[in-house]
Amino acid sequence: MDDQLKSILKELDIKKKKLQPKIDEINAKREEEIQNVNKKYDHMIFDINYTAEQLENEFCNDLIKSFIQIVTREFDRKRSSDIYEVSREFKDYRESIGEFDMFPEELINKMHKVIDGGPIEDIMYDLEKIQKKYLRP
């Protein structure tokens, strides 16, 4: 009985070894198909992420452009007035822009300084640097 079991075990081992190349071939084909599916979906995900990133960049650029516009208008108000006082529009803008987490804290702080009596020129003369630093491609 012991010899018979050993013979069956040996036969089983031989059959497994014969089947192994077929198993390896199937695994290789499966891996290739998985890679093809991954490529397809990776490309789709990249396209969606790229679109989302473009929309975010556009929105951030619009925020920076609105900042530049409000600073320019405030600067023009100051130049056209003998007695300058920070406008309500500037203060309201400062309050509303804080709702956007992506708006740079540095620019909010610059606006606070103007509201607290600092010169608007400190921002105005740095607008080119601000554009270079914060506008996204």
For 135, the enclosing helix (H) or strand (E) is none
Give residue 12's pLDDT: 85
Inform me whether the pLDDT recorded for 110 exceeds 90. yes
pTM of the model: 0.72
Give residue 106's pLDDT: 96
Mean pLDDT, residues 102-125 = 94
Give residue 73's pLDDT: 95
Spatial separation of the C-alpha atoms in residues 112 and 86, rounded to whole Å: 11
Judged by DSSP in three states, 127 sits in helix
Q: For residue range 65-99, what is the model confidence (pLDDT) as tens digits?
A: 999 999 999 999 988 888 889 999 999 999 999 89
Which sequence spans correspond to the domains of the chain? 2-134
